[in-house]
A = this chain, B = another copy of it.
Amino acid sequence: MRPTFNSLCAKLQQKAYKITPQRQIILKAFFDHEQRHLSAEEIHGIVKQNHPEIGLATVYRTLEILANLDILHKIEFGDGRTRYEFAEAEVHHHHHLICINCGKVMEFNDDLLESLETWIAKKTNFLVVDHQLKFYGYCKDCQCRE
């Protein structure tokens, strides 16, 4: 049961953010590219196609808001730019398999880490609220071509 476009707009309104066309367009871009991990620049490229007037700064400002509202989730794959995906996905504990040869990013799901989190809490007094797990290696295709 993933949030709908409208429910996310409502979430914005609740926090006294205005529902501007730009914000709707940017949010829609994530619905249209759900599988991907988009950078600000990429999102700008996407929304500009139909709305050339939208500025890159607005994209950055909108992403910041959406991330603060836990609608989006920031991730970094080490290529120097911050990427964003639906935060809802994070709840399902999906993680990333990053191919160090072709750069492809795949996902895999797992709930094994929850037990690890409680263990950490006991052991170190650290209260875990979120985690990020990334695996680096070679994808199926790149293993053959090596």
For A125, the chain B residues whose CB sits under 8 A away are: 139-140, 143
Chain B residue at minimum C-beta to C-beta distance from A141: B125
Please give the count of copies of this chain that the complex contains: 2
Q: Determine the main DSSP class of A at the interface with B.
A: strand
Chain B residue at minimum C-beta to C-beta distance from A146: B127
Q: Is A130 an interface residue (CB 8 A)?
A: yes
Using a Cβ–Cβ cut-off of 8 Å, how many residues does chain A contribute to the interface with B? 32
Instruction: State in angstroms the CA–CA spacing of A116 and B137 once bound together.
Output: 14
Minimum Cβ distance to chain B for residue A44 (Å): 19
Q: Is A31 an interface residue (CB 8 A)?
A: no
Cβ of B133 and Cβ of A128 under 8 Å apart?
no
Chain A residues packing against B (C-beta within 8 Å): 74, 76, 78, 97, 99-100, 106, 108, 110, 112, 116-117, 120, 123-140, 143
